[in-house]
């Protein structure tokens, strides 16, 4: 099955080792027959189990990109941050998984090309927020490159930990948020057939739809 045949995409935000919430979410996606699941990266640096998180992603064939925390860990930098995973705690097979992740993935869909990234395209530290307006948008050169007419119909990105659905020009931006429990623990389902994004609240005990956003 090609990407153009998928109508619904399960979207996973910054994981940060939240293996219990990740398992709950992947179970929910499976129960709701979400066949294509995408993840914006930042798999490492958190309070859960990084090895189990990676195994869950692999077992469910989740297609991921690399996040800035993953990049920092692979380079052995920024290890002084709270909840940073020691380099020595990363298994060789988990390092191989993270090292193989691309910066971006692109899918052809019924609503144009879909870009999966962590920040803004190749810039894993770039971002778009709900309240960005005026100069904040105009000076965001990575963003401006993504909203060139006809380039992308949908951009799925993370990094901010803030769930968001926003359209700029002809491009729909969807940020599923993060699985971190102290940052709201959210996710999303993108339905390109019905033109709707379901924003989800994710707990180890289960998943609930907290909002539906209709787009055209």
Q: β-strand 8-12 against 36-39: which pairing, if any?
A: parallel
pLDDT of res. 6 = 75
- The phi-psi region of residue 159 (left if phi > 0; otherwise alpha if psi is between -120 and 50; otherwise beta) is left
Q: What is the mean pLDDT, run by run of 10 residues, along the chain of 216 residues?
A: 72 98 98 97 97 98 98 98 97 98 97 97 98 98 97 98 97 98 98 97 97 94
Three-state DSSP state, 29: helix
What is the reported pLDDT for 165? 98
Q: Can you name the CATH fold of 7-214? A: Purple Acid Phosphatase; chain A, domain 2 (3.60.21)
What is the β-pairing status of strands 196-203 and 186-191?
antiparallel
Q: What is the pLDDT of residue 216?
A: 79
- pTM, entire model: 0.96
* pLDDT score of 182: 96
């Amino acid at each position: 099955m090609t990407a153009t045949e998928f109508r619904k995409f399960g979207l996973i935000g910054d994981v940060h080792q939240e293996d219990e919430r990740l398992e709950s979410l992947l179970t929910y996606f499976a129960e709701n027959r979400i066949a294509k699941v995408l993840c914006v990266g930042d798999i490492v640096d958190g309070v859960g189990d990084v090895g189990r998180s990676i195994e869950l992603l692999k077992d469910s064939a989740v297609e991921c990109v690399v996040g800035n925390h993953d990049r920092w860990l692979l380079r052995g930098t920024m290890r002084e941050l709270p909840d940073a995973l020691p380099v020595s705690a990363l298994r060789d097979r988990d390092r191989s998984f993270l090292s193989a992740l691309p910066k971006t993935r692109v899918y052809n869909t019924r609503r144009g090309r879909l870009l999966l990234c962590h920040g803004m395209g190749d810039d894993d530290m770039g971002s778009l927020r709900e309240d960005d307006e005026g100069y904040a948008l105009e000076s965001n050169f990575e963003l401006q490159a993504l909203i060139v007419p006809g380039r992308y119909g949908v951009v799925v990105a993370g990094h901010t930990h803030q769930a968001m659905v926003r359209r700029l020009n002809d491009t729909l931006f969807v940020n599923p948020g993060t699985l971190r429990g102290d940052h709201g623990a959210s996710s999303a389902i993108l339905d390109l057939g019905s033109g709707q994004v379901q924003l989800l609240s994710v707990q180890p005990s289960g998943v609930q739809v907290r909002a539906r956003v209709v787009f055209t």
